[in-house]
Amino acid sequence: MIRATDVSHAYGEDPVFRDLSIDVDTGEVLAVIGPSGVGKTTLLRLLALSFEPDDGTVTVDGTDAWAVDPDERLSLRRRIGMVFQEASLFDAPVERNVEYGLRIRRSWTDRLRHELRSVVSSNGTADAVRDSLDIVGLTDKMDQHAASLSGGEAQRVSFARAVAYDPDVLLLDEPTSDLDPRNTAVIEEAIAAARDRGIGVVVATHDMHQAERIADRVAVLLDDRITEIGPTAEIFDDPDDDRTRKFISGELVY
């Protein structure tokens, strides 16, 4: 589905990645593990087509995203959903937040008509909005303002916002690092539900237990490269790479 091949990227003089390759397919959960500050967020932003790498290719279903024109790249970008470490919701009710991805995909005339109609009456709730809030168990918070939610609820809404437009791939950047166990469990169940819908999920996490719980495959990001990528059990039980083994066993401390 999304595949980065031999990607190199640097911020000024500092290389972030060197010849890095990674791929995610639909209907699987890939966990990217690695210590804090190793570049997991940058890797997710790369897969989200937020920036062009210095070298290498990023393809979506075989189409080189940086070789096509901006319009086509936008339509590739729109098949991807993303959830950040911070919920970063808009200053609006929950429903408007979750609806955002659907709204911007409409034509301008539709959007205008929709906005005008909302002034005089309700447009009703889109099924996709209700369904995605249902996944994170927050349909009852639909009319609340985003600012009134707890941190955990906000992150769950952020998740619903990213799945509402039914992306092919969902990128999650440390989605539960600030959450309590209950909200973490809800997000992890929602990740499983997204996979069951056929969405390919990439979760960046520094929590190795979480990776073991939810991922079908694991990629280990150490320094500026993927040291190992493969089925979860294989990576945790019998890693080939010496540094990976040390990282997983906790000997390699950053």
Partner 1 sequence: MPIEPAAQLLPAVVDLPFRDGYVSSIIYVSLYVSLAAVALSTAFSVPVAILLGLADFPGKQFVKSVINTGMGFPSVVVGLVVLFAVSNQGPLGSLELVFTKEAMIMSQFVLATPPITAISLAAIAGVDEPVRDAAHALGGTRFDVALVVLKEARYGIATAILAGFGRAISEVGSVLIVGGNITSASGISKTRTLTTAIQLEARQGQYETAMVLGAVLVALVLTVNAVVVRFGDRGVKP
In angstroms, give the least distance from the CB of 142 to partner 1: 18
Site residue total, partner 1 (CB under 8 A)? 25
DSSP state of 39: S
What are φ and ψ of residue 197, in 5° steps? -75, -5
Binding of residue 104 to partner 1 (CB under 8 A): yes
Question: With contact defined as beta carbons under 8 Å apart, do 65 and 49 qualify?
Answer: yes
Under DSSP, is residue 202 helix (H, G, I), strand (E, B) or coil? strand
Q: Specify the stretch interacting with partner 1 by CB under 8 A; choose among 99-107, 121-129, 131-139, 214-222.
A: 99-107
* Residue burial 193-204, b: 16+ Cβ < 10 Å; e: rest: ebbeeebbbbbb
Using CB under 8 A, which residues numbered 19 to 48 contact partner 1? 48
H/E stretch holding 185: helix 181-196
Region 179-238 residues binding partner 1, contact defined as CB under 8 A? none
Residues 67-96 within binding reach of partner 1 (CB under 8 A): 74, 77-78, 80-82, 84, 86, 88-92
Q: In angstroms, what is the minimal distance from the CB of 5 to partner 1?
A: 22
User: Rounded to an integer, what distance in angstroms lies between the CA atom of residue 47 and that of residue 14?
Assistant: 20
**Where do the DSSP E strands lie in 55-166?**
55-60, 63-64, 80-83
Taking the least distance from each CB to partner 1, the nearer of 14 and 91 is: 91
Q: In this complex, which beta carbon is closest to partner 1, that of residue 90 or of residue 254?
A: 90
Residue whose pair of structure tokens reads 């960046």 in the numeric block: 204
Q: Which of residues 154-173 bind partner 1 (CB under 8 A)?
A: 158, 161-162, 165, 171
| Site for partner 1, residues 117 to 156, rule: CB under 8 A | 147
* DSSP-based three-state secondary structure for 162: helix
Among 50, 63, 123, 150, interactor with partner 1 by CB under 8 A: 50
Q: What is the 3-state secondary structure (H, E, C) of 233-248?
A: HHHHHCCCCHHHHHHH
Verify binding: residue 100, partner 1, rule CB under 8 A: yes
* Residue ranges that bind partner 1, judged by CB under 8 A: 48, 50, 74, 77-78, 80-82, 84, 86, 88-92, 100-101, 104-105, 147, 158, 161-162, 165, 171
